[in-house]
Amino acid sequence: MVEIVKPVQMQRVVSDAKRRGKSIGVVPTMGYLHDGHVALMREARRENDIVVLTIFVNPTQFGPNEDFEKYPRDIDRDKAIAEKENVDFIFNPSVDDIYPEGFSTYIDVEGVSELLEGEWRPGHFRGVATVVMKLFQITLPDRAYFGQKDAQQLMVIRKMVRDLHMPVSIKDVPTVREPDGLAMSSRNAYLSTDERKDAVILFTSLRDARDQIAQGERSRDVIVNGIRNAINTIRNARIDYVEIVDPETFKSVEKLEDDREYCIALAVRIGKTRLIDNIFINNK
């Protein structure tokens, strides 16, 4: 495995490989890898000749009072995991290499970026779309891999790729969960032992909602209030949002219809840690 830090060098390596007819699979991450990332690397390894893992904690997707500075980082551990997964290249640039002095071009994906996470984290998806566009320009993927845990991010990226005719196939991989159901996330590292136990409510409330829908419930209010009430039994939990949305547009729905797919998405603070999760409901 080779580590590359400079964008031009990365571009040179992948351009070269493409000229030799090799396919490139890219796994964009902010590092502090967990089994969710491992699932993405394995899928990329299965489908491509060359696998590039990018590790970059992207400052433009964090708000001024968010956790950019304290976001967990452990590059040596990440390298060991990537090596074990047979990644060919790690691209690990500096902030100055990605955002040089005078940088002023951003990608705004209107609509889907403005809802849910976009409302609670203004500018977040502008930062995500911009960095993903840059990473694609630098690593030239045929395929790029993202987790379903960040379902709204996935739609923002899919829309950007579609709207801008970008020649990359976006692949999504199911959320990897801890044995008790908590979705894997680098931010789980912030949780104390008690908070870790409390955090499972994100998953159990979603799972119970799915069961309720399977038993015939179709009212958005009944389902959302059920989830809210379950989360509110946890003293340390504060809800940012719970919504049932169309999985393409992320617009909220009022009533569930048969023969349609929905996503129930939520964001909850457990103590000071903000976690998101979602579940897909297929009423087809």
Active-site amino acid positions: 37
* Three-class HEC string of 25-43: EEEEECCCCCHHHHHHHHH
Closest Cα partner for 189 from 27, 74, 51, 57? 74
Q: How far apart are CA 205 and CA 54, in angstroms?
A: 33
Residue 185 in the binding site for ligand PAF (CB under 6 A): no
Query: Is the separation of the CB atoms in 243 and 265 below 8 Å?
Result: yes
Among 39, 51, 132, 245, binds ligand PAF (CB under 6 A): 132
Residue 186 beta carbon to ligand PAF: minimum distance, rounded to whole angstroms: 8
Among 29, 48, 130, 185, binds ligand PAF (CB under 6 A): 29
Among 150, 195, 198, 277, binds ligand PAF (CB under 6 A): 150
Q: How far apart are CA 136 and CA 161, in angstroms?
A: 10
Burial of 238 (0-12, 13-18, 19+ CB in 10 A): middle
Residue 128 beta carbon to ligand PAF: minimum distance, rounded to whole angstroms: 5
**Residue numbers 39-98 binding ligand PAF by CB under 6 A:** 58, 61
Q: Per CB under 6 A, which region of 63-71, 97-105, 128-136, 222-230 contacts ligand PAF?
A: 128-136
Q: Per CB under 6 A, which region of 22-30, 173-181, 217-225, 265-273 contacts ligand PAF?
A: 22-30
Could you tell me how many residues of this chain bind ligand PAF (CB under 6 A)? 10
Query: Is the separation of the CB atoms in 35 and 184 below 8 Å?
Result: yes
Distance of alpha carbon 198 from the chain centroid: 22
Residue 25 beta carbon to ligand PAF: minimum distance, rounded to whole angstroms: 15
Q: Per CB under 6 A, which region of 127-135, 158-166, 188-196, 251-259 contacts ligand PAF?
A: 127-135
Q: How far apart are CA 42 and CA 40, in angstroms?
A: 5
Among 30, 39, 173, 227, binds ligand PAF (CB under 6 A): 30
Q: Cβ closer to ligand PAF: 28 or 141?
A: 28
Token readout for 77 is 């551990």
Look at the block and give the residue holding tokens 């992320």: 250
Site for ligand PAF, rule CB under 6 A:
28-30, 58, 61, 128, 131-132, 150, 153
